[in-house]
Amino acid sequence: MEEQNLQAIIEEIWPRLKKKHLYPEIPMPQIGKITESTEGESGKDEGVGLEMKQKQMTINPDFLDLMKNKMPERKVMEALLDHGITHYTFCPWDFHTHLMLYAEAKKVMGDKESAKQVANYFIDVIADTHCVKKRSTEIPELHRNLKKGKVEEVIASLYQKIWGIHLGIESSKLSGKSHEEVVRRLARIPYMDRSRWQESIKKFARSIKPLLVAEQKEQEGGGGKGESNPQGEHDLTHYSSEEIDHGLRDYAKKTMGLSEFRDVVEDFSDELKEAGYGMEGGMGRGRGAPIDADVLFYMKLSENYSIPLRKVSMDEKGVLHPHSHTPWEVGSPFQDIDIWTSFGKIMPGITQTWKKREGKGRGKMEGTPDCLIVIDSSGSMINPRKNLSYAVLGAACATNAYLRNDSKVAVYNFSDAPMGGKDILNYTDKKEEIYRTLCKYFGGGTALDLEDLIPLIKGRKNLDLFIITDMKITNLEALIGFFGQIQNRITAVHIGENPYAARFEKAVEKRRNINIFTVKRKEDIPHIVLGTIREYFNPTHKG
């Protein structure tokens, strides 16, 4: 009953709040109990007023009850919702910003938990200050009435200073000169300037670090966990899978740094797994398997680059059509049953089902063939798990191009193949498996075993080849000879310029089905055009 009344208040104030915040795309908030998710602590958390999960805000009626004597429920709800909405409309705005702030905080704090705490405080300060500056809000009143620990007192004192609103914190109450100094430092930070958040959070962390360290020591001594944030915690549950996806992609592109990306993903790996993110091919993998941060880095980074793929007329149209009858058996699917030849009966021995085949003959529809990616991971190539490898990035972009067109990709990762330095993945559309094979690094000599390629090419019509290497291959001549014998479309990408690459280019310049591209920097990757046939002659398009 009580919850219904509260929900009615939300429905009354929500249109006004939406208008105030310029109509954000957020659903109507709800009333509901908020359960503490920490292990070992059961029961509901009265101290948390607001929870945000994938844009859905939930207000805790127990918290409203706690605040009843100090502030009317309506005002508490308004203040909490103002705070929650501002997280979506201003800070952190998206997952990428959240990651960036966390990464900067970690540079100062050094450990994951403190960095998360700092990022949370920073985000809250910005959100509340934005609300106070830009909108009329009850947030100052809420802060005046909230229960405060030592750090919260300092934050409240900061708010007093930067908002010019008295929140009941007397300077004599602040424990010592050091806290006044902290407030003075914190007050100088330009919270409203988004372009300086990266620098600002570091300053924020530097200033607040001694307080958090002291609080941590106290908590460890007291054997308890700290108080929850009444305005809600900031974790990955705020974001949907698409937002996390986007955020990781933007973060990978911005940092271009494998180790930095890996650090952040590993720190958030539990939360990412809880969000069900990053795990492909669920059977047998589940949440027990760790997220491979390096594979994820190349996956996200490659999504920023799109390589055009020229389609080819396929011999098989790819359209299934009914070809012949076959007796139906119990357990077989029903959808292909031919009711006419089955005399309308569903019985073993009588019922006939259609057997379908792909249409033959040259169709007018263009299609995308499968692709065999040959990638060099010898000692002269960069280790993709230590530094950004353009070879792996290029191969990843090619993979995406083919998979996007519903084709399959096989991978031949080689170093000194005759000595066993190779990894072969058969044709598949499982992105994660392909990426894992691409990211493997042997670091040995450089020799292809052409016998390995033959089974992957044999029997496949219209197969594309994508080879990415620095061309410093010991049996380069054999490879050139091999390419001379096949008619498949070959895209050869060489990393950097060297005499071997020049030799290769010279040897294959007359081959119409081979196109060569050079990659010196990441900006060269989008210039790769998969499967181009040289302009002056294309027998497949003769008509």
- Output the smallest distance, CB 183 to other proteins, in A: 11
Nearer to other proteins, 142 or 162 (CB): 162
Q: What is the DSSP letter of 460?
A: -
In angstroms, the CA 227 to CA 66 distance is: 15
Question: CA triplet 405, 439, 112: central angle to 5 degrees?
Answer: 110
Per rule CB under 8 A, is residue 214 in the interface with other proteins?
A: no
Longest dimension (CA), the chain: 95
Determine the interface stretch with other proteins among 161-169, 333-341, 480-488, 524-532 (rule: CB under 8 A).
161-169
In angstroms, the CA 175 to CA 172 distance is: 7
- Output the smallest distance, CB 382 to other proteins, in A: 25
- State which of residues 18, 53, 161, 522 lies at the interface with other proteins (CB under 8 A): 161
Per rule CB under 8 A, is residue 526 in the interface with other proteins?
A: no
Residue 532 tokens read as 């181009």
Per rule CB under 8 A, is residue 191 in the interface with other proteins?
A: yes
Report phi then psi at 435, rounded to 5.
-65, -40
- State which of residues 16, 70, 173, 184 lies at the interface with other proteins (CB under 8 A): 184
Determine the interface stretch with other proteins among 6-14, 162-170, 382-390, 440-448 (rule: CB under 8 A).
162-170
Nearest alpha-carbon partner for 400 in 244, 249, 239, 242: 249
- Output the smallest distance, CB 170 to other proteins, in A: 18
- Find residue 530's DSSP bridge partners: 309
In angstroms, the CA 284 to CA 288 distance is: 9
Nearest alpha-carbon partner for 491 in 499, 483, 503, 481: 483
- State which of residues 50, 80, 108, 275 lies at the interface with other proteins (CB under 8 A): 108
- Output the smallest distance, CB 258 to other proteins, in A: 20
- State which of residues 10, 99, 162, 293 lies at the interface with other proteins (CB under 8 A): 162
Concatenated DSSP letters of 175-205? SHHHHHHHHHHHHTS-TT-GGGHHHHHHHHH
Nearest alpha-carbon partner for 186 in 258, 232, 129, 139: 129
* Residues 119-148 interacting with other proteins (rule: CB under 8 A): 129, 132-134
- State which of residues 16, 147, 188, 323 lies at the interface with other proteins (CB under 8 A): 188
Nearer to other proteins, 170 or 451 (CB): 170
Report phi then psi at 202, rounded to 5.
-70, -40
SS3 221: helix
- Output the smallest distance, CB 85 to other proteins, in A: 18
- Output the smallest distance, CB 214 to other proteins, in A: 16
- Output the smallest distance, CB 117 to other proteins, in A: 18
Residues that bind other proteins (CB under 8 A): 107-108, 129, 132-134, 161-164, 181, 184-185, 187-193, 199, 202-203, 206-207
